[in-house]
Amino acid sequence: MDIDLNHLDPDTFEDLCNDLLMQEAANITTIDGSGGDDGIDCFRGEIDGEITIFQHKYHTGRLEYTQKRQISDSLDRAQEEHSGLEKWILLIATEFTPTEHEWFQEEIVSPNSGIDIEYWNKPKIENRLIQYDFLIERYFNESLFATGKKIDDAFDFMSGDPVDKVVGAGDMLRDLKEKYSHLGVEFNYNSEEGKYEAFFNPEFDIEISAEMDINEEKAEKLQDGEEVELSKDEVEELDISPGIFDVESDEIDSILIQPSYKSIEKDLRIEIPSSGFQKGLTFTVEDLSDDGIKIRSKNDLFDLYIMTHDESSEGEIGYETDLINEPIHRIAEFIEFLNQLEESDNFLIRDSETDEIIFRAGGEMIAIPEELELVEIFTNNLYDIEAYTGKSFIMTEDWDEEDISNARIVRDLLVDGEADVSWSSFEFTVPSSNAHQLLDIYDKEGTLTDAQIKMEEYRLPILEEEVEFEMVTVELPSSDLKNRDTIEDQLEKGEPVKLEFTPEDSAVMKNGSQ
C-alpha cells in the first residue's frame, strides 16, 4: 500500500506518531494536549526530572513564518516547563528543503546547544512505518480519500427522496462535521439555486494545480484576486493534494476559485551593503496588477509598501506611519531605520528563505518630510531623558510646541548641566517686602541686570509626564520691567507684587543638583 502522510489529518497524524514511537522507543508516555500540552505530545523519562520530549507538527508544505514560529514556541515552552529537558525531537509531516534544514540548524539547534535536538521528517517517518504492517493498515485505509467518499455519500443521500432528507440528513451532516472537524466542512442549502453546497476550511495546507482554458476576462479576474466560476470544460486538468474528493467525478459540473493572495506572508530582509545594516520584516501581498505586485509590511508602528514589476527587481517604495500611542524608543528606532535608507547609496530587499533579491533601490527613493524631522529631534531628546531618569514616554495625540521646548530644556539640563531658555516674556509674584529689594537693582530706566532666580523642586511637563529637578538657577538676561506703573499701588497696599519682564536675550537655566 502506498504510504503518504499527506493523506492524513492533523489529529490522525498525531495518533500515528504516538503509535510509531511506542514501537520505536521504550517507556513512551503520551499527552492529551486539549488543555495545553506544555510543548509535549509524548515523552520518555520523568515529567519533573530528566526527560526526552517528542513534538508532532502536521505541516505538509513549505515552512512559512507561522509554522517556524510554532516550532520555535513549542521548544521554548518545553524548556520553560521542564528544566530537566535532555533531548527534543520534532516529528514533522514534510521534507525540509536545504534552506529549511539550514534554518532548523541555525535557529533551533545552535541556540540550544545544551539540548540534543533532532527532527524526523516525512521520509524518515514513512520509512520507519514500513516495518509495521498493522500501523499501515490502521492509518492508511481511513485517509482523506475515504473522507471524501463519505462526503460524496452525504450529497447522494441529500439528493434522494425528500422524506429521507428530512428524517436523516441532520444526523448524517452533524456526524460528518464532528468526525471530520479538521476539514472545516460546512453544508448549506441555497434556496435561490435550489441546491446544496459544501464549504471546506481545513486546518492544513491544500495544494491545487490546474491547467485552464479560459477567456481573457476570467484570466484578468483571477489575477486581480476576484472570484471566478469555471465550467468543467474550462478546467483541462486539476490536481488536489491531499485528495479530499475525486476531481474527475461526473457529479462536479463547475468549480469556484477564490484566490486568497492577501493571506500570503513572506519574511524579507532589508540590507544596506555600504553600512552592513539589516532589518527583517514580514510582508503580505496587498495588490496585484497587470505588471507587478504590491507588498506591505506588517508592523504596528509603520507600513512599508513596495511595488515591484514583472521581469524587474526595481520598483517604487514608500511608507505610512501613525506615531500616536507609540513608545518613544520605538519611534526613535523607526526614524533611525528611515535615516539608514535615506542615507544609503542603495539598498536591497531579499527573500529571507531563498536569499533571492526581489527589490533594489537607491536612497533617494526615501525622503524624510520636515514634520518627521521635527519628530526626530523631539524623540532624540526624549530618548536621552529616558536614559537619565528611567521614565518611559508615550507619544500622545495632543503633543505640541511646549512639549518639544520642554524636552529640549530637560535634556540639556540633564546632559549638559544648563540650557538656554528663550522667553518672550516672563513673570513671577514676590512678597511686597522682597519686591523693594528686587526693584533696587533696576537702573533708572527700569532695566534689570545680572539677576538670578533659584527655584526648588522645579518641574517641567512633557507628554503627560513631569520631570523634577531639586534645584535650578535661572540667570536672567537684561530685562525691561513691563508693569512698573502698577507696582507702587501693590506696594502701598502691602499685597504680593506681580512683576512682568521682557528679556533682551535668552536666559540660562542651570541644574543646581549637578
pLDDT of 457: 87
pLDDT for the residue 102? 92
Which residues is 420 bridged to in the sheet? 508
What b/e string do you get for 8-33 counting C-beta neighbours within 10 Å, with b at 16 or more? Answer: bbbebbbbbbbbbbeeeeeebebbee
Cα–Cα distance for residue pair 40/78, rounded to 1 Å: 7
Locate 317 and state its grid cell: 517604495
Mind listing the pLDDT tens digit for each residue in 325-351? 889 888 888 888 888 877 777 778 888
Best CA proximity match to 432, nearest among 501, 490, 499:
490
Q: Write out pLDDT tens, residues 401-451.
A: 899 999 999 999 999 999 988 776 666 676 766 666 656 655 556 676 777
Residue 44 has pLDDT above 60, yes or no: yes
Q: What is the pLDDT of residue 416?
A: 92
State the pLDDT at residue 264. 66
pLDDT tens sequence across 244-285: 455 555 556 677 766 555 556 778 888 888 888 888 888 776
Residue count of the chain, please give it.
Answer: 514
Q: What is the pTM of this model?
A: 0.44
Residue 225 DSSP SS3: coil
Q: Is 53 helix (H, G, I), strand (E, B) or coil?
A: strand
pLDDT at 113 over 80: yes
Tell me the DSSP string of 135-148: HHHHHHSSSHHHHH
Average pLDDT, the chain: 76
Instruction: Say how far apart CA 300 and CA 292 lie, in whole Å.
Output: 26
289 Cα distance to chain centroid: 26
Please tell me the predicted confidence (pLDDT) of residue 89: 93
Residue 81 has a pLDDT of 86
Cell triple for residue 381?
531628546
**Distance between CA 277 and CA 466 in Å, rounded?**
36
Residue 282 corresponds to which amino acid? T
Q: pLDDT grade, residue 217 (50/70/90)?
A: confident
Helix or strand holding residue 447 (H, E): strand 447-448
| Region 5-140: CATH code | 3.40.1350.10
E strands within 405-485? 418-421, 426-430, 447-448, 451-462, 465-476, 479-481
**Whether the predicted pLDDT of 224 surpasses 70:** no
Q: Over range 78-85, report the average pLDDT.
A: 87
Most confident of 64-73, 429-438, 443-452, 480-489: 64-73
pLDDT of residue 407: 93
Cβ-proximal residues to 41 (8 Å cutoff; 6+ apart), any chain: 14, 17, 18, 30, 31, 33, 54, 55, 56, 91
DSSP string spanning 343-362?
A: H-S-EEEEETTT--EEEEE-
Distances (CA, A) of 56 to 22, 59, 90, 366: 14, 9, 6, 45
Instruction: Give dist(CA 134, CA 488) in Å, integer.
Output: 109
Domain boundaries along the sequence of the chain: 5-140, 145-151+183-261, 263-368, 398-511
Percent of the chain exceeding pLDDT 70 equals 67
* 122, containing H or E segment: helix 122-129
Best-predicted range by mean pLDDT among 146-155, 211-220, 230-239, 455-464? 455-464
CA distance 465 to 449: 34
Identify the band that residue 163 occupies on the pLDDT scale cut at 50, 70 and 90: very low
pLDDT at 513: 73
Res 123 pLDDT > 60: yes
Q: What is the distance between the alpha carbons of residues 273 and 251, in angstroms, rounded to a whole number?
A: 58
Write the Ramachandran bin of 354: left for phi over 0, alpha for psi from -120 to 50, otherwise beta: alpha
* For residue 174, pLDDT beyond 50: yes
CA–CA dist 257, 111 (Å, integer): 43
Here the cell at position 442 is: 533696576
Check pLDDT > 80 for residue 390.
yes
